[in-house]
Amino acid sequence: MSELVITPAPHLRSPLDVPRVMGRVFLSLLPATIWGMAFFGLQLTLWPLLLSILGAVGFEALDCFVFRKPLSIFDGSALVTGLLLGLSLPPGVPFWIPLVGSGVAIIFGKQMFGGLGQNIFNPALVGRAVLFISWPGIMTSWRVREIWALGVPFSGEGLDVVTTATPLGISKLQGYSALTQLEPRILWRLFVGTVPGCIGEISAVALLSGFFYLLFTGVVRWDIPTFYFLGLAITGAIAGQNPLYHILAGSAIMGGCFMVTDYVTSPVTFKGKIIFGLGAGIFTGIIRWLGGYPEGVTFGILIMNALVPFLDRLLPRRFGVKKV
C-alpha cells in the first residue's frame, strides 16, 4: 500500500468555497444588470460596467504585482466589487469615472487594508463615496429616455434623451406630496424599475429576485437586510414619509440586499448583525431626511462599517450560562 495521507479532523469539508460564494453573488446581480442595460440602452451602460469590472480586477492584479503578493484575482471578490460599483454609477458616465472608482475601491478600499477579508469598509462603497464627493455633478446626473422622465426634465440632450431629477431629489426639495402629485404611480414604477437612477439600482423586483436566490442558496441570511429595511422604514416614517417609498427609492434595495450583507464588512454574531443592520438603515434614513444629500445609503452603510470591529465584541450567550 502506498503512503497514507495524514491530515487533522474533520475529514469532510463542505463544497462551498470562496470563489463559489463570489460566483453566486455575481450571478444574483445579473437580473438587475440586464434590466439596467435594457432600460438605459447598451450605449450608456455597457462601457461603465465593463470598465468598472475590468478596472477592479486589473487594479487588484496590479497591486499584487507591485507589492509582490500572490495573485488574488481568482477568488472572485474583485469581480464582484467591480460589478457592484458599476451598477451604482449613473448611466452614460465618462469613461474615466469607473476607472477612478474601481481604482479607489480596490486599492484604497481593499488592498491597502491587507486584501480580501481585511478591509473595514465595503470597497465598492468606498469607490462610490469618493466619486460622489469628488464629482457630484456627474454622479447625480440621470439621463434617461424622455418617456420615462419624472416631472420636468432639466435639459434636453438629443431627441429622446433628457436629464431628469430623481424621486429622492424631488421629495427632498419639494416634499413627498409634491412627488406623488407629479407621479402618483411612483411606488409601482420604483418596484418594477421604470424610474431613472443608477444603472443597476432601478428595479426592485430584479434586485430582489437576485437576493432571494442568495437567500435560498444560503449565501446570505435574512437578518441584516431585515433590520436594515426596518431601520430605514422607521426613520422614513418618523420623517413623515411613506416607509415603503424609502425602501423602494434610490439605492436602498441594492444597499440592503447586496451592500450590508457583505461578509467582510458586517459583524459575525447575531447581536452585532441586528445593531449593524438597524444602524445602517437608520443612518440612511437620517441622511436622506436631514442631510445635505438626497440619498444616504452609501454613507449610512459606511458609518456602520466603521463600527463592526466594536460590534464583533458582542459575543453570543455562553453555552451553559443563561444569564451573565
* φ, ψ at 196 (rounded to 5°): -60, 150
* Cβ 119 to another protein shortest distance, Å: 10
Does 318 bind another protein (CB under 8 A)? Our answer is: yes
Binding mask 267-296 for another protein (x = CB under 8 A): xxx---x-----------------------
Nearer to another protein, 76 or 169 (CB): 76
Q: Binding residue for another protein (CB under 8 A) from 16, 112, 290, 306?
A: 16
Q: Binding residue for another protein (CB under 8 A) from 38, 173, 238, 315?
A: 315
Q: Binding residue for another protein (CB under 8 A) from 141, 242, 266, 298?
A: 266
Helix (H) or strand (E) holding 161: strand 161-164
Residues numbered 208-227 forming contacts with another protein, rule: CB under 8 A:
221
* Cβ 73 to another protein shortest distance, Å: 12
Is 197 within 8 Å of 150 (Cβ atoms)?
no
* Cβ 81 to another protein shortest distance, Å: 13
Q: Binding residue for another protein (CB under 8 A) from 68, 159, 322, 323?
A: 322
- Spatial separation of the C-alpha atoms in residues 110 and 113, rounded to whole Å: 6
SS (H, E, C) 89-113: CCCCCCCHHHHHHHHHHHHHCCHHH
With the CA atoms of 152, 156, 157 and 160 taken in that order, what torsion angle do they form, in degrees rounded to the nearest 10? 80
Is 254 within 8 Å of 200 (Cβ atoms)?
yes
Nearer to another protein, 145 or 271 (CB): 271
Q: Binding residue for another protein (CB under 8 A) from 17, 136, 156, 173?
A: 17
Residue 142's DSSP bridge partners are 164
Q: Binding residue for another protein (CB under 8 A) from 5, 147, 159, 324?
A: 5
Binding mask 96-135 for another protein (x = CB under 8 A): -------------------xxxx-----------------
Does 12 bind another protein (CB under 8 A)? Our answer is: yes
With CB under 8 A as the rule, give the number of residues binding another protein.
Answer: 41
* Cβ 110 to another protein shortest distance, Å: 11
Cell of residue 246, nine digits: 424609502
Does 21 bind another protein (CB under 8 A)? Our answer is: yes
- Spatial separation of the C-alpha atoms in residues 226 and 178, rounded to whole Å: 29
Q: Binding residue for another protein (CB under 8 A) from 155, 158, 159, 319?
A: 319
SS (H, E, C) 240-306: CCCHHHHHHCCCHHHHHHHHCCCCCCCCCCHHHHHHHHHHHHHHHHHHHHHCCCCCCHHHHHHHHHH
* Cβ 322 to another protein shortest distance, Å: 7
- Spatial separation of the C-alpha atoms in residues 190 and 202, rounded to whole Å: 7
